[in-house]
Amino acid sequence: MRWRVLGLALVLTAVLLFPRAAGNYPVKLLQEILIWGIFAMSLDLLMGYAGMVSFGHSAFFGVGGYVAALALTHWGANAASGLVVPAVAAALAALVIGYFSIRVSGVYFIMLTLAFSQMFYAVTFQVAWLGAEDGIVGVPRPRLPGVDLNRAGAFHVYVAAFALATGLVLWRIVRSPFGHVLRGIHDNEARMQAVGYAVSRYKLLAFVIAGTIAGVAGALYTQFVGSITPEAFLWRTSGEALLMVIIGGTGTLLGGLLGAGAFILLQSLVSSYTERWMLLLGLTFILFVLFAPGGIVGALRGRIGLRA
């Protein structure tokens, strides 16, 4: 335990001091990794703990991103517009989609979540007041009391704080009685039902929690880029998060962050050498599923005896 706290403190210090040591581009990469890491960790709560493999997690990333863009542009650039309203909107979207989707499981769940997320894509792609296919551009960052997020350093701390908070909250959740019920559902849903747990209610709550966090990630992403497009809803967004979780290690939380790091570093590295990034991505994904289903964290545990 002491080692883990020490390790966390070291990593956190390194992340916070990174802008002093590195140039503009690497710092942006790190922020992107942290935002995608938040998104991937929220998906891992569903996949790795509750056993609900969702191919439509982009729905909540996109809702968070779009609502943040609208609220920040029209209602004023404050914390409520940038974070609270998007999180509530994503939670509501997750409640509705979850209500429909958790009635089925396995491949049906995959197909339904995928289809629902693409419905958002279809709507945002056509609706004029959402900017149609161009999306919403020129979104201001929120003004927090005493903090100017337009300063690069402040935004870096802001994003890092959310990544840390997400990690801690999810860590607390998966170790709570609630988290153990989720794992029980993953292992044997019928048994949990028979023992007397209201399985659907637990699944729906997990879905809403994951959706809310994904919405926060989307809102942060809008603030990071300054714009949002229908692409945020596209199946590729869900797919990439899925890839990050699998590369990092399903059911480990940390894997989401590591996977996001591996994915984004690889992407920026590879795309400067070759155009065949998608091919490499697909092959990496296939090889991980075939030979390293435990992902990076799984491989590390096997190799150096690292434990959860």
Partner 1 sequence: MPVSDLLAQALNGLSYGVLLFLLSVGLTLIFGMLDVVNLAHGSFYMLGAYAGLATVAATGNFWLALLAAPLAVGVIGAAMERAVLRPLYRRPPLDQVLLTFGFIYVFEDVVKSIWGGTIRTIAPPDLFAGSVRIFGGAFPSYRLFVIGFGLVMAVVLWLVIERTRLGAVIRAGVYDAEMTAGMGIDIQRVFTGVFAAGAALGGLSGVIAGPIQSAQPPMGAAILIPALIVVVVGGLGSLKGSLVGSLLIGQAEVWGKVWLPNVSMAMIYFVMAAVVLLRPQGLFGRPLK
For binding to partner 1 (CB under 8 A), which residues are involved? 53, 55, 100, 103-104, 106-108, 110-112, 114-116, 118-119, 122-123, 125-128, 235-236, 239, 242, 246, 275-279, 281-283, 285-286, 289-290, 293
DSSP tally for the chain: helices H, then strands E: 14, 2
To partner 1, the closest distance from the beta carbon of 227 in angstroms equals 21
244 near 217, Cβ under 8 Å? Answer: no
Residue among 117 and 222 whose Cβ is closer to partner 1 = 117
> What is the C-alpha to C-alpha distance for residues 176 and 125, in angstroms, rounded to an integer?
40
User: What is the C-alpha separation between 139 and 132, in angstroms, rounded?
Assistant: 16
Q: Which is nearer to partner 1, 171 or 235 (CB)?
A: 235
Q: With b meaning 16 or more CB within 10 Å and e meaning fewer, what string describes 239-271?
A: bbbbbbbbbbbbbbbbbbbbbbbbbbeebeebe
In the bound state with partner 1, the residue whose beta carbon lies nearer, of 167 and 251, is: 251
Q: Compute the least distance from the CB of residue 123 to partner 1, in Å.
A: 5
Cite the beta strand spans of the chain per DSSP E: 143-144, 147-148
Q: Are strands 147-148 and 143-144 parallel, antiparallel or unpaired?
A: antiparallel
Least separation in angstroms between CB 88 and partner 1: 22
- Least separation, in Å, of the C-beta of 39 and partner 1? 17
Shortest spacing between CB 128 and partner 1, in angstroms: 8
Compute the least distance from the CB of residue 257 to partner 1, in Å.
20
Q: Cβ(33)–Cβ(158) under 8 Å?
A: no
Of the two residues 104 and 194, which places its CB atom closer to partner 1 in the complex? 104
The residue among 162, 182, 172, 187 whose CA lies nearest residue 64 is: 162
- Which residue lies nearer to partner 1 by CB, 49 or 162? 49
Residue 83 or 246: the one with the smaller Cβ distance to partner 1 is 246
* Among 261, 256, 237, 248, residue whose Cα is nearest residue 294: 248
Please state the closest distance from residue 295 (CB atom) to partner 1, in A.
12
66 versus 162: smaller Cβ distance to partner 1? 66
Beta carbon nearer to partner 1, 14 or 278: 278
- For residues 234 and 228, the answer to whether their CB atoms sit within 8 Å is no
C-beta of 153: minimal distance to partner 1 in Å?
A: 36
Torsion of CA 164, 169, 174, 175, to 10 degrees: 100
**Around Cβ 13, how many Cβ atoms within 10 Å?**
10
Q: How many angstroms separate the CA atoms of 243 and 240, rounded?
A: 5
Task: Give 66 or 158: the residue with its C-beta nearer to partner 1.
Answer: 66
Provide the 8-state DSSP code for 139. P
Q: 3-class SS at 77?
A: coil
Shortest Cβ 95–partner 1 spacing (Å): 15
